[in-house]
Amino acid sequence: MKDELIKTTLTHSKKEIPNSSQLEFGRCFTDHMFIMDYIDGKGWHDPRIVPYQPISLDPAAMIFHYGQTVFEGLKAYKTKDEKVLLFRPNKNMERLNLSNERLCIPKIDEEFVLDALKQLIRLDQEWIPTIEGTSLYIRPFIISTEPYLGVAASKSYRLMIILSPVGSYYKEGIHPVKIFVEREFVRAVAGGTGKAKTAGNYAASLKAQELSEKLGYSQVLWLDGVEKKYIEEVGSMNIFFKINGKVITPALNGSILEGVTRNSVIQLLKHWGIPVSERKISIDEIYESHRNGLVEEIFGTGTAAVISPVGELNWEGEKMVINNGQTGLLSKKLYNTITNIQNGEEPDPFDWTVEVK
């Protein structure tokens, strides 16, 4: 596999590249995609870059029935001097394999797939938008393809990588979002698939999200699946609280996704000398701190969301307005620092960016 050549077939009909100022999240896709197949006994094989196109699958393919699938999300940026940078791509490759392990999907060769991803980006690099708040979102994913209705791990898989020029994930952009604290539904429990990046976790979240949207909220904040007391994460991001000068975020407990941005924020805060801890946090504690006037900022972190300030929480009808519904100074500083590192506009003291040469 390591030395297998990636065969490239170029598109004959290049699409029109959308105007960067009108980009939504995840609605349009570049000219090419990467594909690689797996079959038991042969392993991962036939890596190829082909024109972006629909794929054909047997209706009995196991992905449709039992959801054995994993995905990743990372971004590419173009610097002012036309260099293409990826942000901590090795972390995504590593996590893809952790998710594979949980979903009984055969591991990938991380270095090989990262290399394939770079080849694909090089080919479609004119699609990388450059105006503030935009980037090229990269979505590697693996689906089970064996036509079989028995509940078992599939014997065949397909890995694909698609690219999408994106604007901000939330329509609010960097402006604070309103979040509904979910009491009825749960997303994951320890021992389940919460820490894997797999479709089922997101499918399970839709009902609560739909209901919260009807009430005017962007997403829900999940509490633990057992006591519905401890804070876990938001639909598409991890969550941080700045209380009385100190920053806290829920500790990884097996049901929370280990976000790459979460990890980067923790490292940055430590670097700046701002106290930060990962621990169990109850929703009661947050409301109590707010009643005492101590909650300074709340923000979410994620590849798609970057840093997304939270302006309001609603828990059982009790609304908590944070920082007068305005973006806090720390959220803004984190957003600026991370996006500047990603865009190559600020020094990168942690060597997080990787150039696509």
The residue (of 68 and 205) whose beta carbon lies closer to ligand COI is 205
Query: What angle separates helix 89-102 from helix 260-271, to the nearest 10 degrees?
Result: 130
In one letter, which amino acid is 178? K
| Shortest distance (Å) from residue 70 CB to ligand COI | 11
Element (H, E) at 47: strand 43-51
Minimum gap (Å) between residue 84 Cβ and ligand COI: 18
How far apart, in whole angstroms, are the C-alpha atoms of residue 282 and residue 71?
Answer: 30
State the amino acid at position 222 in one-letter form.
Answer: W
Least distance between ligand COI and beta carbon 305 (Å): 6
In the block, which residue shows the tokens 């106290």? Answer: 275
Residue closer to ligand COI, measured from CB, 73 or 89: 73
- Per-residue buried b or exposed e for 212-224, using 16+ beta carbons within 10 Å of the residue's own CB: beeeebbbbbbbb
Residue that has been written with the tokens 């600020």 in this structure? 346
Nearer to ligand COI, 34 or 315 (CB): 34
Distance (Å, whole) CA 19 – CA 254:
41
Helix, strand, coil percentages (3-state) for the chain, rounded to 5, are: 25, 30, 45
Contact 123, 34 (CB under 8 A): no
Of 87 and 127, nearer to ligand COI (C-beta) is 87
Shortest distance (Å) from residue 71 CB to ligand COI:
7
Q: Give dist(CA 148, CA 52) in Å, integer.
A: 27
Q: Looking at residue 99, what DSSP letter applies? A: H
Q: Which residues bind ligand COI (CB under 6 A)?
A: 73, 202, 236, 302-304
- What's the min distance (Å) between Cβ of 342 and ligand COI? 13
158 vs 197, which CB is nearer to ligand COI? Answer: 197
Q: How far is the CB of 137 from ligand COI (least distance, A)?
A: 7
Minimum Å gap between C-beta 327 and ligand COI is 19
Cβ-based nearer residue to ligand COI, 66 or 202: 202
Nearer to ligand COI, 234 or 269 (CB): 234
> How many angstroms separate the CA atoms of 314 and 212, rounded?
10
